[in-house]
Chain A
Amino acid sequence: EAQVTQNPRYLITVTGKKLTVTCSQNMNHEYMSWYRQDPGLGLRQIYYSMNVEVTDKGDVPEGYKVSRKEKRNFPLILESPSPNQTSLYFCASSNLNTEAFFGQGTRLTVV
């Protein structure tokens, strides 16, 4: 089954404790991206990647890092999480001129 898998689905952590949210797709897609969704602000793009080792900032990249060492994986790294990064996160993947597939989301709470 074609899918984008995010882990974990839910995470509560403390300020400053580094964490990684993983994203994996099984469709051999070139494009992958991360979004955060907050009430009243909608879905905003954090980072995206056009292919292995090629990434670019989205609209809200501050406080986040990404890497694309393999085509199927695109982890989101929060080196020092803060409460304002409490949000619902989505990973997505696609190929050029095709629709994007989204993961089921990761709900992160930073206390």
Chain B
Amino acid sequence: DAKTTQPPSMDCAEGRAANLPCNHSTISGNEYVYWYRQIHSQGPQYIIHGLKNNETNEMASLIITEDRKSSTLILPHATLRDTAVYYCIVRVGGDSWGKLQFGAGTQVVVTP
């Protein structure tokens, strides 16, 4: 499975957009990019995922580069409740679908 690289931490002002980068340069054609976040010690929460195209939902947008070697999670208007650790994960289908490999993630702190 492809590994991911994320910056360890990031600060963001409340109300501004937060752009979280992720490098997955060894990603394979059939691997999805998933984003989760973990608020304090709660269970990780799904945010968004994509394969090739950019995606948007009510929580965030996901921009995947054309070569798929990196992606950016965008929180359009960060709030204090968005303070969390954000994980970028690549997943492959089949029997390995259940194997989520979490890295260290990015600690995002949203400040007033």
Contact = CB atoms under 8 A, between A and B. Distances in A.
Nearest to B101: A45
Contacts of A56: 95
Per DSSP, chain A at the interface is strand
Given A31-B97, A96-B97, A97-B97, A42 B43 contact: no
B95 A101 contact: no
Interface in B42-57: 42-46, 49
A96 B42 CA distance: 24
19 contacts: A31-B98, A42-B103, A43-B87, A45-B100, A45-B101, A48-B99, A49-B98, A50-B98, A96-B93, A96-B94, A96-B97, A97-B32, A97-B97, A100-B36, A100-B100, A102-B44, A102-B45, A104-B43, A105-B43
B102 A103 contact: no
Contacts, number: 63
A44 B101 CA distance: 7
Contact of A58 (B32, B43, B99): B99
A88 interface: yes
Interface size class, chain A: 20 to 34
Interface residues of B, number: 23
Contacts of A50: 95, 97-98
A99 interface: yes
Interface in A1-31: 4, 31
Interface in B24-70: 32, 34, 36, 41-46, 49
